[in-house]
């Protein structure tokens, strides 16, 4: 696969610009309903048959305000993309919120602890575009998980993770209630106790490996062989030897390894060279090959 040149910060690909124009009529909170493709809806099985396969990390949080309805709408319009990644926290009044952090400080500049703040307050916050490829674009509202899952669960594979323990039960129940387990991947640390339950619900599973003793050595081999883990994850920041240890363990057990969160052509080339099949990228507009 020939890599396209990496775009400098502050620039957008032609695909991303087109997506922005198409989304101009989107509402501030959840965006307009994106047009549906004519092809069959993607499933986890379909995704894993692709070499490589791509996942939009935080909805393409390097291109648009991360994990907002707007970001997911834009990434969903990219031809050839079949998977979106979502992290979830829980508000004081039980609303599942698209957020990697338990606090809103990093993405909005306003420090609210999501667990102790009602959705009525959180919904007024705007996620900044400061860390995107176009920092001059408008900020976008913090988004409910329901708004994303309702829009895309019928045709995209969703990689979903509870980022706080309190979110796990309501999130699991919400995903079961979709009735589409073939398009759900439950993601957590590789030693999560919830993978067997997720598999019992028919979900795919992705366990990511960190540089800590409970994840490595004989433990890594045990997790790679576990029937309740379908994919292994490896952080981009780790050295080649670490990445190779994870990918080798995955391959020995007939499973794909997924590297996250890629940002550049160099990241992609390295991930592929080291044996990763899955490419989870925040720069989805820049790295997804033309369909």
The per-residue pLDDT for range 139-193, each reduced to its tens digit, is 999 999 999 999 999 999 999 999 999 999 999 999 999 999 999 999 999 999 9
DSSP lists the bridge partners of residue 187 as: 206
Say yes or no to pLDDT of 38 above 80: no
Q: Identify the residue whose tokens are 């993601």.
A: 187
Q: Where are the domains of the chain?
A: 41-287
pLDDT at 6: 39
Options 3.20.20.190, 2.60.120.1570, 3.40.30.10, 3.30.450.20; CATH for 41-287 is 3.20.20.190
Mean pLDDT for the stretch of residues 25-43 = 46
Say yes or no to pLDDT of 272 above 60: yes
Residue 35 neighbours by CB distance under 10 Å = 9
* Cα–Cα dist 192/288, whole Å: 30
pLDDT at 266: 99
In sequence order, which ranges of 112-164 are alpha helices (DSSP H)? 119-122, 145-152
Say yes or no to pLDDT of 88 above 70: yes
DSSP lists the bridge partners of residue 233 as: 208, 258
DSSP lists the bridge partners of residue 276 as: none
Q: What is the pTM of this model?
A: 0.87
pLDDT at 24: 38
């Amino acid at each position: 696969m020939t890599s396209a040149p990496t775009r400098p910060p502050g620039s957008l690909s032609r695909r991303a610009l087109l997506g922005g124009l198409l989304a101009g009529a989107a509402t501030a909170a959840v965006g307009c309903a994106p047009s549906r493709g004519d092809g069959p809806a993607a499933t986890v099985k379909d995704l894993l048959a692709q070499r490589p396969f791509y996942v939009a990390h935080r909805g393409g949080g390097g291109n648009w305000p991360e994990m907002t309805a707007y970001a997911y709408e834009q990434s969903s319009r990219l031809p050839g993309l079949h998977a979106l990644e979502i992290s979830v926290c829980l508000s004081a009044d039980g609303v599942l919120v698209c957020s990697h952090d338990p606090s809103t400080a990093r993405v909005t500049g306003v420090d609210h602890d999501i667990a102790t703040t009602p959705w009525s307050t959180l919904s007024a916050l705007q996620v900044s575009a400061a860390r995107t490829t176009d920092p001059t674009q408008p900020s976008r509202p913090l988004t409910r998980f329901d708004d994303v899952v309702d829009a895309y669960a019928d045709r995209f594979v969703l990689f979903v993770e509870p980022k706080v323990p309190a979110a796990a039960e309501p999130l699991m129940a919400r995903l079961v209630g979709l009735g589409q387990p073939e398009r759900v991947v439950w993601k957590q640390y590789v030693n999560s106790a919830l993978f067997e339950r997720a598999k019992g619900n028919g979900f795919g599973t992705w366990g990511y490996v960190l540089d800590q003793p409970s994840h490595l050595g004989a433990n890594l081999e045990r997790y790679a062989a576990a029937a309740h883990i379908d994919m292994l994850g490896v952080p981009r920041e780790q050295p080649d030897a670490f990445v190779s240890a994870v990918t080798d363990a995955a391959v020995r057990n007939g499973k794909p390894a997924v590297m996250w969160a890629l940002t550049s052509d160099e990241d992609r080339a390295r991930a592929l060279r080291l044996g990763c099949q899955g490419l989870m990228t925040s720069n989805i507009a820049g790295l997804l090959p033309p369909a």
